[in-house]
Amino acid sequence: MIPDKAFYLNPGNLNGNSFFLDQQESHHLTEVFRLKLKDQICLLDGLGTGYIGEIKTIENGIVSGGIIKVIKGLGESSFNINIAPAIIKRQRFEMLLEKSTELGIKEIHPVITERCIKKTINLKRCERIIISSAKQCQRSFFPKIHEPIKLESWLKHSKDQFLVGSINATCKLSQLNIEKDKGINILIGPEGDFNKNEMGILSKQGAQFYTLCNRRLRSDTAAQTTISIVSELLYHMG
- What CATH number did the domain enclosing 21 receive? 2.40.240.20
| CATH number, residue 156 | 3.40.1280.10
User: What local confidence, expressed as pLDDT, does residue 238 receive?
Assistant: 72
In a domain, 29, yes or no: yes
Q: How far is CA 214 from its chain centroid?
A: 27
Q: For the chain, give the mean pLDDT.
A: 95
Over the stretch 114-135, which tens digit does the pLDDT of each residue have? 999 899 999 999 999 999 999 9
Q: Which domain holds residue 49?
A: 6-72
In a domain, 53, yes or no: yes
Query: Which has the minimum average pLDDT: 17-21, 52-56, 133-137, 210-214?
Result: 210-214
In a domain, 162, yes or no: yes
Q: Are residues 123 and 220 in the same domain?
A: yes
Over the stretch 188-210, which tens digit does the pLDDT of each residue have? 999 888 999 999 999 999 999 99
List the strands of the sheet with 107-108, edge to edge.
Answer: 144-145, 107-108, 81-85, 184-188, 161-165, 208-210
> How far apart are the C-alpha atoms of 24 and 36, rounded to whole Å?
16
Mean pLDDT of 173-188: 94
> How far apart are the C-alpha atoms of 179 and 160, rounded to whole Å?
10
Over the stretch 64-85, which tens digit does the pLDDT of each residue have? 999 999 999 999 999 999 999 9
| CB-based contact 131:8 (threshold 8 Å) | yes
Number of domains in the chain: 2
> How far apart are the C-alpha atoms of 225 and 140, rounded to whole Å?
23
In a domain, 1, yes or no: no
Boundary residue ending a domain (50, 72, 94)? 72
Q: Are residues 85 and 161 in the same domain?
A: yes
